[in-house]
Amino acid sequence: MYLNETTIEKNTVFEGRIVTVRSDKARLDDGTVVGRELVIHPGGVSVVPLTDEGEVIMVRQFRYAFMCPLLEIPAGKLEPGEDPEKAVLRELSEETGAACRELISLGVCYPSVAYLTEKIHLYLARGLDFGTAHPDEGEFLDVERIPLEKAVDMVLNGEIPDAKTQIALLKTWHLVTEKAAR
């Protein structure tokens, strides 16, 4: 049986630009007191930009946490209180230069529930209009077009390890193939 937990002590141990870290104490319903590490993140948005030709616009950028470039769908951090739809349109435009006529929610994912508060809002963008990409200063990336079916194969065979990209591509595949079957 799971037990509810109540915070009895909050200790902020690091406040950074991206994450805040706490080392709390919590009381379980049975009275036990336990330590709880918490990484607090404002959350993010991520989008599968799907062209009329069935290609996904993806970005490749260096990821310091893995010391190598990774292939991902466009994404960004939410500003505190920011509307996710507004944020995702901004990131789509900044990273790929595209606007879209249709934005479909693919739900939310919680990347690492044991200690991380981050929630990522996922979207599918269709009806793309291309302008010119204008990445954030200090954001360097390559833009690549990959057919959806190939991108899904890359998820299934392990070539795309990023979790948000895996989820958003697999959900897009369900959506597109379900519609095709009707």
Would you tell me which residues interact with a copy of itself (CB under 8 A)?
Answer: 1-5, 13-14, 16-19, 21, 23-24, 26, 28, 32, 34-39, 41, 44, 60-67, 69-70, 72, 75, 77, 107-120, 138, 140-142, 155-158, 161-164, 166-167, 170-171, 174
Which residue's CB is nearer to a copy of itself, number 4 or number 132?
4
Q: What is the C-alpha to C-alpha distance for residues 131 and 97, in angstroms, rounded to an integer?
A: 5
Q: What is the C-alpha to C-alpha distance for residues 74 and 42, in angstroms, rounded to an integer?
A: 17
CA dihedral of 172, 178, 179, 182, whole degrees rounded to 10: 180
**Comparing C-alpha atoms, which of 8, 34, 12, 7 is closest to residue 23?**
12
Which residue's CB is nearer to a copy of itself, number 102 or number 159?
159
Please enumerate in sequence order all residues whose Cβ is within 8 A of that of 167, keeping only pairs 6 or more positions apart, or say none.
Answer: 106, 109, 122
Tell the burial category of 78 from Cβ atoms under 10 Å away from its Cβ (0-12, 13-18, 19+).
buried
Cβ at position 15, least distance to a copy of itself in Å: 10
Query: Tokens 């990522």 sit at which residue?
Result: 120
Cβ at position 25, least distance to a copy of itself in Å: 11
94 touches 102 (CB < 8 A): no
Which residue's CB is nearer to a copy of itself, number 101 or number 132?
132
Which residue's CB is nearer to a copy of itself, number 110 or number 129?
110
Cβ at position 52, least distance to a copy of itself in Å: 24
Positions marked active-site: 137
Cβ at position 34, least distance to a copy of itself in Å: 6
Return the SS3 of 30. Answer: coil
The two three-digit tokens of residue 162, written as one number: 């990023």
